[in-house]
Structures are given as C-alpha cells and as structure tokens.
Amino acid sequence: MPDHEHSLISRAAGILRAGGLVAFPTETVYGLGANALDERAVARVFDVKGRPRFDPLIVHVADVVAAHRLAAEFPPKAQRLAERFWPGPLTLVLPKNRAVSDLVTAGCSTVALRIPEHPLAQELLHEAGVPIAAPSANAFGRISPTTAEHVREQLGDSIDLIIDGGPCRVGVESTVLQLTGDGQTLLRPGGTALEEIEALIGKVTVPSADLTGRESGGMVSPGMLAQHYAPRTPLVLRTREAASHADAATRERTGLLAFKRPEDAASFARVEVLSPEGNLREAAANFFAALRRLDAAGLDRIVAELFPETGLGRALNDRLRRGAHE
C-alpha cells in the first residue's frame, strides 16, 4: 500500500475509534461506517442518513474470528459459506452475542455479518481493530453510491472522512442470508448468486416479494422496505419487449435504463446501456451509476427493463422493484 493510502487509513481508523463516521469503499457499494460497539457513533449513522431505527445495520468484520465473537451461534453451514464466499458480497444473519447493541440490530435477536473484499475496507478493519457497522453511504432510500463522488453529493460535510477507493467492482449490495436452526432464508438478493449458495448448502427459502421482514420491533435485514434504492424521477418497469414497443409520443422526456442496447435507442431522450454484450456482472457494476445519471438528466420519467431472473439479475430486479414509484 502506498504511504499516502496507509496514512489515510490510519487517520480513518483513529476517527472510527474516537466515535466518528467514515465513508469507505467496498466491492459492493460505499459504506457509511461507525464503530459497531459505540452506540453514540451508531446513532449518528441513523441521523446522518435519515434512516429509521427499525432498519438494522450490517456489521463488517476483519476476519471469521471476529465474526465468531459477535455471533452467539456459528453453525456448520455458516462456516462453510464463510470459507467459500468471505471476503465477498455475502452477509450472514445469525443469532447475536450480547456484545452487539440492540441499536445496531434494530432490536432483533440476530446480527448481520460480513467480511468485505475491497483491500481498503480490509485494511481499515484491521487498522481500526473494531467491527464497523455500515449501511450504504447515501441518504436513506435513495440511489446507492458506487463512487466517492456519489457520497459527497448526498452526504457532503455531514461525515468526518471519505476514503476514495474508485468505482465499486460489484456495484450492488451484498446478498443477505439468514441461517436458523430449522432452515436458511434469502432476505435480500445481491452480489453473491443464489444458485452458488444453494450449490453449497442446499435449497434456500425465497420469501415472496411483499415480505416486510419485520421481527418484534425491527426488520431482520436491511434493504427490505417496499420502496428503497429510489431515484427522484418516477421509475416505471417494463419487460424488454414492452420497453422497445412503447408509444414514441411518450418518449420525448423519457429515459431508458437498458440491459442491452435496444433497437430504438434514438427514440428516447436518453439511454443508459448497462452491458452491450448482455453480461449481468457488467450490468450490476454499472447499475447505480447509470440510474443516478438518468435521475440527474431532468427527465419526466425513467423506463427500466427487467433483467433475466437468474444470478445477479435477481438482485438487479429487486433493486428496480423497490426503486419504482407507484
């Protein structure tokens, strides 16, 4: 690591230990981090984001040993998943240890844990020596940030430091999986494909899309509200076929968020193509930044194509459905 990066990480670690807030890059999106063991610092995360306190936070840890310290139970399937997918875009929801504040978990009996893959995030966790509670570094419910500039635009001077680690490689939030004594449930699709998880531990329960995720006083997982990840411009969903055959008269001030390049791109006011070759990983990496550009273009509405309901397409469709305006 270059000296200037090491100096920045050391400064960020000191801010976290002192109760401050640091925005930092992960492979998924930028996180707004606080010392997970400092309730006052965690409370400031909720305040800065405007996040309701019934919505729990993911706790980022440096290694599996640190994860074991925060979980009251770490079943064999969790161990197998950790060995296969950590560090990476998978969050495990497990019974929590008493050391974890109810503020972090929104009063739930479980805690959401993951090890991020980004080298700067890993360096920060090791240097700080504390678990970091971190939702996405944006105003609550808005488009998730995948660059440091996105963080500055939304949160500005309300946080103590922003670490610029470049664009996020994965581009959508982590998959969240709850493990209990009697089963395993997908709480949020994300950067780790459901198919890969099931290949390792067997069938996973996938609740219906209208799940509220509530448990006595709080939600089990972040990202489960009916409307989330939303642009300010009205967002409507269409199949690829319906988007390409929409009435041309409605397109004068309409933007299109397209998976692959559409045949009638010229008829829309603005088009963002996520992957000309139809690659879901490329589409995911470009997704939030493209949606943000359309939102800033002064359009009357954004039409978004749904993706194939497989792999990362499942996660992208989830973000579109929660971001769509009724």
Length of the chain: 326
> In the numeric block, which tokens belong to residue 297?
């273009």
pLDDT for the residue numbered 156: 87
3-219 CATH choice from 3.60.21.10, 3.30.930.10, 3.40.640.10, 3.90.870.10? 3.90.870.10
> In the numeric block, which tokens belong to residue 196?
């890969």
Task: Give burial (CB, 10 Å; 0-12/13-18/19+) of 323.
Answer: buried
pLDDT for the residue numbered 216: 39
Where in the chain are all domains bearing CATH 3.90.870.10? 3-219
Q: How far apart are CA 287 and CA 274, in angstroms?
A: 6
pLDDT tens for each residue of 246-265? 555 456 689 999 999 888 78
The helix (H) or strand (E) run that includes residue 93 is strand 90-95
Q: How far apart are CA 12 and CA 160, in angstroms?
A: 9
> In the numeric block, which tokens belong to residue 131?
């678990």
Q: How confident is the model at residue 228 (pLDDT cuts 50, 70, 90)?
A: low
> Under the phi-then-psi rule, with left for phi > 0, alpha for psi from -120 to 50, and beta for the rest, what region is 268?
beta
Taking residues 30-37, what's their average pLDDT?
A: 98
Taking residues 166-185, what's their average pLDDT?
A: 94
Mean pLDDT lowest for which of 30-34, 90-94, 141-145, 219-223? 219-223
Q: How far apart are CA 302 and CA 310, in angstroms?
A: 23
Which amino acid, residue 89?
A: P
pLDDT surpassing 90 at residue 81: yes
- Residues whose CB is less than 8 angstroms from the CB of residue 2 and which lie 6 or more positions away in sequence, other chains included: none
Contact 238, 305 (CB under 8 A): yes
Closest Cα to residue 1, out of 9, 29, 22? 9
pLDDT tens for each residue of 40-66? 999 999 999 999 999 999 999 999 999
Contact 288, 30 (CB under 8 A): no
Q: How far apart are CA 281 and CA 303, in angstroms?
A: 21
Could you tell me which CATH class the domain 235-323 is placed in? Answer: alpha beta
* Greater pLDDT, 68 or 216: 68
Q: How confident is the model at residue 295 (pLDDT cuts 50, 70, 90)?
A: very high
Share of the chain above pLDDT 70, in %: 89
